[in-house]
Amino acid sequence: KAGVTQTPRYLIKTRGQQVTLSCSPISGHRSVSWYQQTPGQGLQFLFEYFSETQRNKGNFPGRFSGRQFSNSRSEMNVSTLELGDSALYLCASRATQTGPIPTGELFFGEGSRLTVL
């Protein structure tokens, strides 16, 4: 089974530009979540999508947005880039399960490393 695929792996942007990152989840996984990883803040949750709907959102400004398509692929967009947005952006997919208690593990991609100059 193919893993979570993120594109592009590396990219360089300048302040003020916008960027779109893509994530293809494991086949059959309907939940996709995004994380930002920086040396100072560690891993921080951005948002989660399930069946094209945003279910959870972390504490990030509105410049960070995302969406999910009917095939479960997801994109995240960052507008008006700032230097502090330089980070590794990780996507994770999860197999959903029935019942009120979520237990499915996350499967992470290798990330998209964004550098803002």
Partner 1 sequence: DAKTTQPNSMESNEEEPVHLPCNHSTISGTDYIHWYRQLPSQGPEYVIHGLTSNVNNRMASLAIAEDRKSSTLILHRATLRDAAVYYCILRDTGNQFYFGTGTSLTVIP
56 binds partner 1 (CB under 8 A): yes
Out of 48, 74, 76, 85, point to the residue binding partner 1 (CB under 8 A). 48
Nearer to partner 1, 13 or 95 (CB): 95
Identify residue 43 by its one-letter amino acid code.
L
Closest by CA position to 7, among listed 99, 106, 113: 113
C-beta of 104: minimal distance to partner 1 in Å? 9
Closest by CA position to 56, among listed 31, 39, 80, 81: 31
C-beta of 14: minimal distance to partner 1 in Å? 25
Three-class SS state of 82: coil
Residues that contact partner 1, how many (by CB under 8 A) = 25
Name which of residues 88 to 117 contact partner 1 (CB under 8 A).
90, 92, 100-103, 105-111
Q: Are 22 and 34 in contact (CB under 8 A)?
A: no
**Which range touches partner 1 (CB under 8 A), out of 13-21, 27-35, 63-71, 75-83?**
27-35
Q: Distance between alpha carbon 81 and the CA centroid of its chain, in Å?
A: 16
C-beta of 81: minimal distance to partner 1 in Å? 22
Closest by CA position to 106, among listed 38, 19, 2, 33: 33
Q: Are 95 and 28 in contact (CB under 8 A)?
A: yes
Chain positions contacting partner 1, by CB under 8 A: 4, 31, 33, 35, 42-45, 48, 55-56, 58, 90, 92, 100-103, 105-111
